[in-house]
A and B are shown apart, each in its own frame.
Chain A
Amino acid sequence: MNASLLGIIVFLPLLGALGALACRQNVRACRLLALTVMLTDLVLVLSLFALSPHTAGIAGNWLRIEDYSWMDSLGIRFTLALDGISLLLILLTTALGALAILVSWKEITDHVAAFHFFLLAMLTGVLGVFLATDLFLFYLFWEIQAIPMFFLIGIWGHDRRIYATVKFALFTISGSLVMLLALLSLHLLHARQTGETTFALLQLIHTSFSRPLELALFGAFVLAFAIKIPLVPVHTWLPDAHTEAPTAGSVILAGLLLKTGVYALLRFAFPLFPHAAQFFTPLLLVLGLTGIFYAGWIALAQEDLKRLVAYSSISHMGLIVVGIVVWNITTLSGSLIQMINHGITTSALFILIGMLDERLHTRKLSELGGLWKTLPVWSGFFLFFSLAAIGLPGLNNFVGEILILVGTFTERPWTAAAGFIGLLWTVIYGLRMLRKSLWGEARHRPDIADLTRRELAILIPLCLGVIWLGLHPGPALESSGRPWPD
């Protein structure tokens, strides 16, 4: 069992998914089974922390590697590999997965078994993306993430769910298909050069390209990842998808799916095509910065709370991409920790908005107000997480942001300056959101139930995560190890 621990971690949610379908007559059993499965998975991931720390990232010094032959005639192997980066991300995945199930406890009442089936199947896909190092296997998991999300948004979402989910599916799958071509070209090129038929990342890194071909292939890969991250201008699916998804869907979407895009940039696109990456750095920086400003600007105009947070996600991801593109130790550590931070804070915000929606059946800022008086506990948490998202020092987002910006400043001062101003944007729309929702005239009945124990159980771990990562990020940064030196 020890030998295929990574495999078990990846496929346990899928088993849970099938189990949930099997006990579809008993709703409570479904929920408990799903929760148990995800908590077990979380424990298994935590056990991985016992492995020796301080090992490097993409260079091939894996913490753990599991390699099985699968489709040898095509050169495809089932290879899962763990390093510090993926370790942190799969920890985030399992934790958010468990929280997503808890959040849906009361919210989802129709077709509960199917809901948990899709949720858990999607988590298998996400775990697989973070752990696969065989390019075909990565592509398989990359596509597998999208389909359950399509169903989740489409069946259990809000009013415009069909439009949102079809847009999401089309954007994501189109990008993936383009990436498929690039993947195949890379594989064939490598075979022609070295005679090895392989899809393994570490072997494909040693392929030499002509300049235009490398640019084209890098472009194709980055297109697929840029749609996921999302980078402006292929970001337009995100506001709709986030807004119309059920709370658990938004949590997974914002907390995990976006991170898979950044992770893929880090793990695949940049190492495979280093020269193209250098060539495209200015463009990617511009796109990242545009994301910060443009998305922030639009967030300022939003009336729907969920849509506002969705645009803030784009903004934050823009900064993370800037950190990746600059590619030095400081910014990479910053981006990595910021991915975790963003996962925690944005998920918490979506969870809180979901709780509000359940009670007041509205997400419009114009209909909210004075919530501090009506729902004090909820408002306290909302204030806390919003301040974290804004980047208050002492809370988690600040750590990531400062690492990214300081690291960028050493190489590209103007970019860093723009980034700092972008932080200001975040503060502006964040404070507007707080003012309109928490303070002002109380528009709702004062006897609406505040947070229940289950909801507190969801939020308190997130709170602790925020505080811990904000005040003591050292261990997290340490366990991510040293990233790939260029």
Chain B
Amino acid sequence: MTVLSWKSVLFQLLLAAGGITIFTVGAFVKNKPKPLLFSLAIGTVLSAAVAALLIDGGRTPFFQMLDVGAYARFFNVLFALVAFFSLLFSHRHAGLRQVAGDEFYGLMILAVLGMSLVAGATHWLVFFLGFELLSLTFYILITMRRDDPLGNEAALKYLIMGMVSGGFLAFGIAMFYASTGTLDMPIGLADLKNTGSPTGMLLSLGLILTAAGFKISLVPFHLWTPDVYQGAPTPVTAFLTTGSKIAVFAGLLRILMLSSNWLWVHSLPVLWTLAAATLLIGSVTALAQTRLKRLLAYSSVAQMGYAVMGALAIREDGGLSVIFYFTAYALMDLGAFGAIATLCASPESDLDELDSYRGLGYSHPWQAALLTLCLLSLAGLPPTAGFIGKFMVFKAVLQARYAVLAVIGIASAILSIFVYLKVIVVMFMKPKKDVAVTSGFGMAARIAFAVILFGVLWAGVFPSPLQTLISRIIASIGI
């Protein structure tokens, strides 16, 4: 164990250290100094991001358990940035709701650690560890406001879902071990001699896919999504919808990439059905929503449908479209929920009813502008990042010759346009109602706004740098 090899997990070490420090400070310093804790959190996240950017751990996984190569580093940086923006959005929001404190910030840091473990795992135990860490931190983050009944209900639903999915995952891993005799992912999945029992492998993959499906909110495992998104504090929702989903999907992508051809061919029908169902049901159910957070929840379900579509084409394009889509999705959803986080109906509740958004375009132009841009990006309209993402996903799907799925995808896109247009119409074209809106729009949120606004437009007009980066990462995994 040389110094060099410890450096390759500096990202995770920094996060763990940061989280523990925050808890320690919170425990020992009288009347929790919120600015200090906030700065600690931001500092941890940023330094971890820098560590992931600069330190290349090479292609051999750390102790054969954790990937420290380009793929994991990309997602580590992504998670750190997602956490950074969520923290910025939560700055004033957390103050308003009186949730700011060591628990909140420390748990967010630990959640990033969990995400990194899930996305980087090459050994099932690490995957499970990360999965559970992710779940546990979010259970508490969702219910941060102990006296909020909606939050408690949301956390309970997330808890039950999390426990069920954790159970599925454990059983899947057990079946995997039973079939292949190893807990090492690359070796077991690429099971070339097929020494394992084929039924066992399929069963294990199915169970793991179910567990992942719960976390990614694929249909029919998505029913927790609207309630949890609505009940959690909005910055936590932003963090949940981007970070946790991308983390589990990144892990799933790795599993799919490493799978043997036999496994891959047998998973295709399942993935196809999941994609089609998620796309259609996600868009259709969003049509009926009258509350913005629930609407965005169902829309994020549909977005995951597009991601699964892109995942189907992994063998053709190496995952370029899916990873680009995720980056774009992270930006869009962060922006959308972030904008909502800065608008509070009262110190107790977020602005949720679509009706209360009337005339927001004129009373709060910047928040409305960001929300509108992110909605247009989610709808896949140019010149936004979401458009390029959808373009690449559809191209990949057609390249992989899934024409029917592409048509279903387009149908879902058409349905979702109506959903997003509805919100924009309410914000700009309906006469204003007298709803008091407290603004949680501090300096921190403004910085986040500016970066996300710029990012969504930049990735929409000049996506080449990002695309080249992702291609290089995929090349370095060497499928």
Contacts and interface: CB of A to CB of B under 8 A. Distances in A.
A188 B399 contact: yes
Contacts of A181: 394, 398, 406-407, 410
A180 B410 contact: yes
Contact of B417 (A71, A151, A173, A187): A173
Contacts of B418: 166, 170
Nearest to A153: B429
Contact of A180 (B376, B383, B391, B429): B391
**Which applies to chain A's interface (DSSP): helix, strand, loop or mixed?**
helix
Interface string A131-174: 00000100110011001001100110000011001100110011
A73 B469 CA distance: 11
Nearest to A140: B382
Nearest to B417: A173
B310 to A, nearest CB: 13
A174 B414 contact: yes
B157 interface: no
B290 interface: no
Interface string A179-216: 01100110110000000000000000000000000000
B468 interface: yes
Contact of A162 (B407, B429, B464, B468): B429
A147 B398 contact: no
Contacts of A280: none
A70 interface: yes
Interface residues of A, number: 32
B376 A177 contact: no
What DSSP secondary structure best describes chain B's contact surface?
helix
B362 interface: yes
Contact of A184 (B394, B417, B467, B471): B394
Contacts of B421: 150, 166, 169-170
B171 interface: no
Interface string B367-403: 0000000001000111100010001101100110001
A147 B381 contact: yes
Interface string A50-72: 00000000000000000000111
A111 interface: yes
Given A166-B425, A173-B417, A71 B382 contact: no
Contacts of A74: 392, 395, 467
B398 A143 contact: no
B428 A184 contact: no
A150 B413 CA distance: 18
A161 B429 CA distance: 9
Contacts of B455: none
Contact of B425 (A71, A144, A147, A154): A154
Given A147-B381, A154-B429, A73 B467 contact: yes
Nearest to A141: B382
B427 to A, nearest CB: 10
A46 interface: no
A73 B382 contact: no
Contacts of B387: 140, 143
A165 B421 CA distance: 10
A162 B394 CA distance: 31
A15 interface: no
A178 interface: yes
Nearest to B464: A71
Contacts of B200: none
Contacts of A174: 414, 417
A178 B410 contact: yes
A155 B432 CA distance: 13
Contacts of B471: 73
Interface string A282-314: 000000000000000000000000000000000
Interface in B88-128: none
Contacts of B467: 71, 73-74
A177 B410 contact: yes
Contacts of B425: 154, 162, 165-166
Nearest to A110: B362
B463 interface: yes
Given A73-B471, A178-B410, A181-B406, A173 B381 contact: yes
Given A71-B464, A144-B383, A162-B429, A173 B395 contact: no
Contact of A143 (B381, B392, B407, B422): B381
B463 A154 contact: no
B323 to A, nearest CB: 14
A111 B362 contact: yes
Contacts of B406: 181, 184
Nearest to B379: A173
A181 B391 CA distance: 9
Contacts of B391: 136, 180, 184
A72 B392 CA distance: 14
B428 A144 contact: no
Interface in B152-197: none
A157 to B, nearest CB: 9
Contacts of A188: 395, 398-399
Interface in B434-479: 463-464, 467-468, 471
A144 B382 contact: yes
Nearest to B413: A177
Nearest to A147: B381
Nearest to B407: A181
Given A170-B418, A173-B414, A174-B414, A184 B398 contact: yes
Contacts of A73: 464, 467-468, 471
Contacts of B429: 154-155, 161-162, 165
B430 to A, nearest CB: 8
A161 B392 CA distance: 34
A304 to B, nearest CB: 21
Contacts of A165: 425, 429
A147 B373 CA distance: 11
Nearest to A191: B399
A397 B195 CA distance: 79
Nearest to A180: B394
A71 B387 CA distance: 14
Interface in B341-386: 362, 376, 380-383
Nearest to A192: B399
Nearest to B365: A114
Contacts of A155: 428-429
A154 B398 contact: no
A140 B382 CA distance: 6
A73 B466 CA distance: 11
A311 B265 CA distance: 54
Contacts of A166: 418, 421-422, 425
B150 to A, nearest CB: 31
Contacts of B398: 181, 184-185, 188
Q: Which of B381, B392, B398, B467 has the most CB of A within 10 A?
A: B381
Interface in A100-129: 111
Contact of B382 (A143, A170, A187): A143
Nearest to B401: A188
A147 B394 contact: no
A71 B467 CA distance: 9
A180 B403 CA distance: 13
B395 A151 contact: no
A165 B406 CA distance: 27
Contacts of A180: 391, 394, 410
A160 to B, nearest CB: 12
Given A73-B471, A185-B398, 20 more contacts: A72-B464, A74-B392, A74-B395, A136-B391, A144-B382, A150-B421, A151-B428, A154-B425, A155-B428, A162-B429, A166-B418, A166-B421, A173-B414, A177-B410, A180-B394, A180-B410, A184-B398, A187-B395, A188-B395, A188-B398
19 contacts: A73-B464, A73-B468, A74-B392, A140-B382, A143-B382, A147-B376, A155-B429, A162-B425, A166-B421, A169-B417, A173-B414, A173-B417, A177-B410, A177-B414, A181-B398, A184-B391, A184-B394, A184-B406, A188-B399
Q: Which 4 A-B pairs have the closest CB atoms?
A: A154-B429, A140-B382, A174-B414, A143-B382
